[in-house]
Amino acid sequence: MDITILIIAVIGGFMAGVINTLAGNGSAITLTIMTELMGMPGNLANGTNRLGIFSQTALGAWAFHKEGKLDLKQARPYIGFTFLGAIPGVWTALQVSNEEFRSVFGYLLILMLVVILVKPERWLKDGIIKEKPNYWFIAPIFFALGFYGGFIQMGMGIFFLAAMVLGAGYDMIRANAIKVLVIAIFTLLIVAVFHWTGRIDWQTGLVIASGQAAGGYLTAKYASRYPAARVWAYRLLIVVVIASILKIFFT
């Protein structure tokens, strides 16, 4: 690998790790590096990208847990339903191309931007959830999120955050903590499947994953310690969604 591309890959991975930990859709950076700079086919890039996603979310979840922002008991139902949804999602990804869904994703992001901007106080609140989750709500929603994540992944973190903050009532930091844990667990399954089908370039994936792991861990560690991180996470989420919309419709 050329030294210039190597540096870009690591830095891009680090940025993706930061963005994915506090907001989502950092995969737009890593997938662009793999497809545009390295000339990797889309299906191979999709599989290779999962290595970085796993590394950043696993270390990010560990950092959140160490800082007391991740309640593993509360996370169980979200893990379970999302994991169940990811299984058919991965199977679907192996059968059909997801390229035709990119425009649909763009319109979903426009809707998401409206939701984010209306009543921002819902995203900036602080607090610990004590009541039991409403399974009638979380079962279909998080199963669908798991399916989407297994199938496409891009932007899954944004939709997961919305479900956790607006639906389940979590604050941004604790929602992000559960988000990265859930994604780490079902991404491990996805990595195994994509490896088995020959859709992972391990050399490239591990290089980018090293940057993502550092970005995910450091962001989770310091976001847990500073109350203002909720505000910056909210602002970053807005920037990421707007940038994603512009990329989809104007490039």
Q: pLDDT (tens digit, 9 = 90+) per residue, 86-105?
A: 889 888 877 766 565 666 66
Burial of 110 (0-12, 13-18, 19+ CB in 10 A): middle
Q: Which two tokens stand for residue 199?
A: 């859709």
Give the domain range for residue 34: 3-250
What per-residue confidence (pLDDT) applies to 235? 87
From the list 217, 233, 219, 223, the residue with the least C-alpha distance to 56 is 217
Identify the residue with better confidence: 99 or 24.
24
- Asked whether the beta carbons of 46 and 90 are under 8 A apart, the reply is no
- Tally the domains of the chain: 1
- Provide the pLDDT confidence category of residue 7 given band limits of 50, 70 and 90: very high
Query: Average of pLDDT values for 127-145?
Result: 81
Residue 187 belongs to what H/E stretch?
helix 172-196
pLDDT at 206 over 60: yes
Confidence of residue 218 (pLDDT cuts 50, 70, 90): very high
Average of pLDDT values for 110-129? Answer: 78
35 has a pLDDT exceeding 70: yes
Residue 157 CA from chain centroid, whole number = 4
pLDDT value at residue 195: 93
Average pLDDT over residues 45-50: 90
Has residue 251 got a pLDDT over 80? no
33: helix, coil or strand?
helix
The pLDDT of residue 167 is above 80:
yes
Confidence of residue 131 (pLDDT cuts 50, 70, 90): low
- Mean per-residue pLDDT for 70-75? 86
**Angle between helix 229-250 and helix 202-223 axes, rounded to 10 deg:** 140
